[in-house]
Amino acid sequence: MTRDFVSTQIKRVQGESWLDIRSALEGLEVQAREWLEAETIPDEKRALQHIAEARYAGQNHEIRVEGILSTPEDFAARFAEAHRTVYGYALNDHPVEIVNLRVQAIGYAGRPFQTVPGVAGTMKDAIVGEREVYIDPQTGWRTVPVYKRASMPQGESFSGPAIIEELTSTTYVLPGQSGVVDAYGNIILSFVKDRA
């Protein structure tokens, strides 16, 4: 789980401005830790990633620099290296300014998948109609059942060809495929092996 906390600064990496940058970063860290706490991520599964989007003063494009902001000199050196990597050059002794500060909160949740409540009824109850489907040149057109996804019970198998409809998608079950809705609400499709 990740969430970014961002503060726009447009401050030069020097003197008093650096103190403002550090203060803004600390504020973002507080927000990030509060979010991780609200998401109930254990302390040992939390991480904070510091990212600064910076540029040479006068430029209109930023470069992303990751890592702890320790000192202005260290950041300027890392920015110069990043600029050299991206653009092939660095400007010695040219002022650097930070445009955006970003703290990315990372939570290694590792929560298990949750089962979902099953629906009552049978696969026959989930049929809401039929549709003509072109299967292949040998079979041609065939009438196939249309299932309502939300009405399909868990654990009862069905076979293709068939159509499964829901609000956001349509699933076509191929001839030779069988399917079942598992305890997590997934449709598991597999091909039936020919038996000799």
Q: What CATH number is given to the structural domain containing 76?
A: 3.30.1490
90 and 128 both lie in a single domain: no
pLDDT at 28: 95
Closest among 155, 150, 142 to 125, alpha carbons compared = 150
Given a cut of 90, is residue 140 above it in pLDDT?
Answer: yes
Pair 22, 98 in one domain = yes
Higher per-residue pLDDT: 108 or 112: 108
Average pLDDT over residues 98-114: 83
The single residue listed with the structure tokens 């991206």 is: 86
Indicate the number of domains in the chain: 2
pLDDT of residue 31: 96
Q: What is the mean pLDDT of residues 130-145?
A: 93
Residue 99: inside a domain, yes or no?
yes
145 is in which domain, residue-wise?
124-191
pLDDT-above-90 percentage for the chain: 71
Q: Is 152 helix (H, G, I), strand (E, B) or coil?
A: coil
Same structural domain for residues 98 and 7?
yes
What are the residues facing 146 on neighbouring strands? 129, 163
With respect to residue 159, please indicate whether it lies within any of the assigned structural domains. Answer: yes
